Amino acid sequence: MAARAADENRRPGVGRPAPCVRDMGSRRALTDIKNLVGVAPNPCAVAKKPVLQKSRRDEKKTALPSSRPMTRKFVASLASKGQPECQPTGADPEPGVDQRKEPIGDGIIDIDVELDEPVDDSDCDVDMGDETENKDIMNQDESLMDIDSADSGNPLAATEYVEELYKFYRENEAKSCVNPDYMSSQQDINAKMRAILIDWLIEVHYKFELMDETLFLTVNVIDRFLEKEVVPRKKLQLVGITALLLACKYEEVSVPVVEDLVLISDRAYTKGQILEMEKLILNTLQFNMSVPTPYVFMKRFLKAADADKQLELVSFFMLELCLVEYQMLNYRPSHLAAAAVYTAQCAINRCQQWTKVCESHSRYTGDQLLECSRMMVDFHQKAGTGKLTGVHRKYSTYKFGCAAKILPAQFMLELGGTAPPPSGAI
Amino acid sequence: MATIQHQAKPAVAAAPSTTTGGGQRAMDLYEKLEKVGEGTYGKVYRAREKATGRIVALKKTRLPEDDEGVPPTAMREVSLLRMLSQDPHVVRLLDLKQGVNKEGQTILYLVFEYMDTDLKKFIRGHRSNNEKIPAATVKILMYQLCKGVAFVHGRGVLHRDLKPHNLLMDRKTMALKIADLGLSRAITVPVKKYTHEILTLWYRAPEILLGATHYSTPVDIWSVGCIFAELVTNQPLFPGDSELQQLLHIFKLLGTPNEQVWPGVGKLPNWHEYPQWKPTKLSALVPGLDADGYDLLEKLLEYEPAKRIPAKKALEHPYFKDVRKGDAH
B91-140 per-position pLDDT tens digit: 979 988 878 777 777 788 889 999 989 999 899 899 898 888 999 999 98
How near does any CA of chain A get to the CA of B120, in Å? 11
Mean pLDDT, chain B, whole residue set: 83
Contacts of A176 in chain B (CB under 8 A): none
Chain A segment 163-192 residues within 8 A of B by beta carbon are 164-165, 168
pLDDT tens sequence across B80-89: 988 898 789 8
- Determine, for residues B189 and A272 on separate chains, whether the beta-carbon distance falls below 8 Å: no
- Contact residues, chain A, for B16 at CB < 8 Å: 286
Q: Report the distance separating Cα A6 and Cα A9, nearest Å.
A: 5
For residue A221, is pLDDT > 90?
A: yes
Closest chain B residue to the Cα of A270, Cα to Cα: B66
pLDDT at B15: 53
In B, residues 201-220, which contact A (CB 8 Å cutoff)? 201-202, 214-218
Q: Is the pLDDT of residue B225 over 90?
A: yes
CATH C-level class of A142-172+293-414: mainly alpha
Tell if the CB–CB gap between B70 and A278 is shorter than 8 Å: yes
Please tell me which residue, A22 or A345, carries the higher pLDDT value: A345
Let me know if domain A23-52+68-86+100-115+177-291 sits in CATH 1.10.472.10: yes
For residue A3, give the nearest of B17, B186, B198 by CB distance.
Answer: B198
B75 and A249 within 8 Å at the Cβ level: the answer is: yes
- pLDDT (0 to 100) of residue A82: 42
Mean pLDDT of chain A, nearest integer: 71
Instruction: Say whether B200 and A1 touch across the interface (CB within 8 A).
Output: yes
Contacts of B200 in chain A (CB under 8 A): 1-3
pLDDT (tens digit, 9 = 90+) per residue, B29-49? 898 898 888 765 578 998 989
Domain residue spans of chain A? 23-52+68-86+100-115+177-291, 142-172+293-414
SS3 sequence of chain A: CCCCCCHHHCCHHHCCCCCCHHHCCCCCCCHHHCCCCCCCCCHHHHCCCCCCCCCCCCCCCEEECCCCCCCHHHHHHHHHHCCCCCEECCCCCCCCCCCCEEEECCEEEECCCCCCCCCCHHHHCCCCCCCCCCCCCCCCCCCCCCCCHHHCCCHHHCHHHHHHHHHHHHHHHHHHCCCCCHHHHCCCCCHHHHHHHHHHHHHHHHHCCCCHHHHHHHHHHHHHHHHHCCCCHHHHHHHHHHHHHHHHHHHCCCCCCHHHHHHHCCCCCCHHHHHHHHHHHHHHCCCCCCCCCHHHHHHHHHHHCCCCHHHHHHHHHHHHHHHCCHHHHHECHHHHHHHHHHHHHHHHHCCCCCCHHHHHHHCCCHHHHHHHHHHHHHHHHHCCCCCCCHHHHHCCCHHHCCHHHCCCCHHHHHCCCCCCCCCCEC
**List B95, B161, B180, B220, catalytic entry:** B161
Inspect the interface and report whether the beta carbons of A153 and B306 lie closer than 8 Å: yes
* Active-site residue flag, B295: no
| A140 has a pLDDT exceeding 80 | no
- B 47-86: CB under 8 A from A: 63, 65, 67-73, 75-76, 78-80, 82-83
Give the pLDDT of residue A323: 96
A202: which residues sit within 8 A by CB, 6+ positions away?
A215, A320, A323, A324, A390, A391, A394
Given this model, what pLDDT does residue A425 score?
Answer: 55
A6, A157, A282: residue with CB nearest B189: A157
CB contact under 8 A, A255 and B193: no
Nearest CB among A8, A168, A288 relative to B79 is that of A288
- Residue A253: predicted pLDDT: 84
pLDDT value at residue B194: 59
pLDDT recorded at residue A180: 94
Interface of A with B in 114-153 (CB under 8 A): 151, 153
Residue from A253, A244, A263 nearest A71 by CA: A263
- Topology alike, domains A23-52+68-86+100-115+177-291 and A142-172+293-414: yes
> Any residues with CB less than 8 A from the CB of A323 and at least 6 apart, and which?
A198, A202, A215, A216, A219, A391
CA distance, residue B292 to nearest chain A CA (Å): 22
- Out of B63, B80, B190, the one facing A156 most closely (by C-beta) is B190
From the candidates A151, A156, A169, A297, which should be mutated to test the interface with B, based on the most B CB atoms within 10 A?
A156
Q: What is the pLDDT of residues B288-297, one digit of tens each?
A: 999 999 999 9
Element (H, E) at B292: helix B291-300
Using the Cβ of B125 and the Cβ atoms of chain A, whether some distance falls under 8 Å is answered with no
User: B40, B62, B79: best mutation site toward chain A, by most A Cβ within 10 Å?
Assistant: B79
Contact B161 A3 (CB under 8 A): yes
Annotated binding residue at B59? yes
Q: How confident is the model at residue B278 (pLDDT cuts 50, 70, 90)?
A: confident
Phi, psi of A335 (to 5 degrees): -70, -45
Instruction: Check residues B230 and A114 and name the one with the higher pLDDT.
Output: B230
Q: Each residue of B209-219: pLDDT tens digit?
A: 998 877 888 98
Distance from chain centroid for Cα A231: 24
What per-residue confidence (pLDDT) applies to A34? 44
Contact A290 B189 (CB under 8 A): no
Residue B16 has pLDDT above 70, yes or no: no
- Rounded to whole angstroms, what are the CA distances from A379 to A371, A388, B193, B321? 13, 11, 33, 57
What pLDDT is stored for residue B324 in this prediction? 73
pLDDT at residue B40, as a whole number? 58
Given this model, what pLDDT does residue B205 score? 93
Mean pLDDT calculated for residue range A206-235:
92
Residue A373 has pLDDT above 50, yes or no: yes
- Return the higher-pLDDT residue of B167 and A141: B167
A·B CB contacts under 8 A: 157
Question: Above 50 in pLDDT, residue B266?
Answer: yes
pLDDT at A117: 38
pLDDT at A55: 38
pLDDT confidence of A240, banded at 50, 70, 90? very high
Residue A145 pLDDT grade (very low, low, confident, very high; cuts 50, 70, 90): low
| Better-scored residue on pLDDT, B161 or B142 | B142
A399 at the B interface (CB within 8 A)? no
**pLDDT at residue A134 above 50?**
no
Contacts of B63 in chain A (CB under 8 A): 279
Measured between beta carbons, which residues in chain A are less than 8 angstroms from residue B155? 165, 168
Q: Which domains does chain B have, with CATH numbers?
A: 29-113 (3.30.200.20), 117-328 (1.10.510.10)
Tens of pLDDT, residues A175-217: 789 999 999 999 899 998 999 999 999 989 988 989 898 999 9
Mutate to test the interface with A, among B59, B62, B68, B207 (most CBs of A within 10 A): B68
The region, left, alpha or beta by phi > 0 then psi within -120 to 50, assigned to residue A124 is beta
pLDDT score at A284: 94
